[in-house]
Amino acid sequence: MELHELTLEQARELLDRREVSAKELAQAFLDRIQATEPQVRAYLTVTPESALRQAEAADQALSAGRSGPLTGIPCGIKDVFCTKDLTTTAGSRILENFVPPFDATAVARLKRAGAVVLGKQNMDEFAMGSSTENSAFGPSHNPWDLKAIPGGSSGGSAASTAAGSCLFSIGTDTGGSIRQPASHCGVVGLKPTYGRVSRFGMIAFASSLDQAGPFCRTVAGAAQVLQAMAGHDPADSTSSPLPVPDYGQALKRGVKGLKLGVPKEYFVSGMDPEVEGATREAIKVLQGLGASTVEISLPHTEYALAVYYIIAPAECSSNLARFDGVKYGLSVRQEQADLMDMYLDTRSQGFGEEVVRRVMLGTYALSAGYYDAYYGKAGQVRTLIKEDFLAAFQEVDAIVSPVAPTAAFELGQKADDPLQMYLSDVLTLSVNLAGLPGMSLPSGFSPQGRPIGLQIIGPHFAEETVLAVGHAFQQATDHHAKRPAL
């Protein structure tokens, strides 16, 4: 087995037994990046010198017996997280040359845990998209089928994990941007409960929806990464003060005796039959492991798409107002132009089409005379969606469903139809609106050989249950063990 084919757990064992050094491991992944990037285009920035220095420090820690679960483990970072002295673009021309003076809390915690950062990964501009085609620096490609999208907005992070050009990566999920690309790329993607992982230093899209989480090949690996990232952060006022449990111990629980809900509204019209088939087969596997299942209803699901596309653009309109050409990032200053001209020139040249579309939608929804009719009403319906889940979790321990209505579609197929692109996230949006934890894990393949994911949703701060269900499923199946033929 090549080093880039290892799981996080296997790499951890080799490092701990000193059968491979952290520097050798980092070099193997840097070589893998060089070999796969011309096809996959998952990275925007690769940092070999810095990675090897971090790996040398990890080797010293290992020799001194000071290692942790992530010491020496090579990873990638979605380019929406601020990284000290390393370009952070958010996939946008407006931040093309922005170099933060600090690390986001999630990044700082990974570094403190000993992880080796290989570079920054491609994404839809400001995390607005479902295919990574909105990146100002060009799309990433799906390692399973280079003609297909990897999903979005964390497409580079999912694609690199699937391609074996990192052992894990971290992304963000505002409406499905971890779970959907994880499903399309055949890896595990975990969106924690809102507030479980600090948002400090994470460039904001929609502040009441954004949440950071890991991509990994296995649920066990994702649990280790979440363990390092999670916990209260005084720098983030929305960060939860609740203690972080031992996620590794949660993996041992199994599913015997658990009651799983299957929402009838999540088997939508237009869903590919192979997606529904893979989900139904996965449910049978969980039943065989001792879980019981019951059909449930989440009646306000049909409004989630409309609610999301009022709340998220409204919040993005507010958050992106800071990119004005004055404080940081791109500044387009023409001679004898006034301040308003500078604002207009900077933003029109710096923002891509999708970002402009959402800023305009959000500004309209927040404007005088329309706020109550749109943003206010969307907030009320959001509460109803959250109450649907709270009622369901009175009856069941977790919910299982498809992640997306289809497997990955071809690059360019929906680029000219924003509504069809928005529908890609119809099964993931509600989880963000309710602030719940959700995870995608591999559950099958389409006839074209493109991965299909199973979604597991838990009550607030019940990541332990989500991880236990996912790990039990992976112990009984081998979907996650398959690799794309790159």
Q: Which residues are catalytic?
A: 78, 153, 177
**Which candidate, 451, 406, 411, 426, places its Cα nearest to that of 183?**
451
**Which candidate, 249, 262, 336, 330, places its Cα nearest to that of 292?**
262
CB 45 within 8 A of CB 156: no
- Structure-token pair, residue 229: 């990232």
Q: Which helix (H) or strand (E) holds 440?
A: strand 438-445
- Exposure on the CB side of residue 464, measured as CA atoms within 13 A: 13
- Structure-token pair, residue 414: 């929906």
| Residue matched to tokens 């993931």 | 428
Instruction: Show the CA angle centred on residue 100, arms to residues 190 and 213, nearest 5°.
Output: 5
Q: Is the dihedral of CA 38, 44, 50, 52 positive or negative?
A: negative
**Which candidate, 89, 170, 99, places its Cα nearest to that of 355?**
89
CB 25 within 8 A of CB 165: no
Task: Give CA separation, 121 vs 43, 202, 438, in Å.
Answer: 4, 14, 22
Sorted by sequence, the CB contacts under 8 Å of residue 113 that are 6+ apart come out as: 68, 69, 70, 71, 228
Q: Tell me the β-bridge partners of 145.
A: 142
Whole-angstrom distance, CA of residue 383 vs CA of residue 375: 13
Whole-angstrom distance, CA of residue 294 vs CA of residue 476: 21
Q: Tell me the β-bridge partners of 150.
A: none
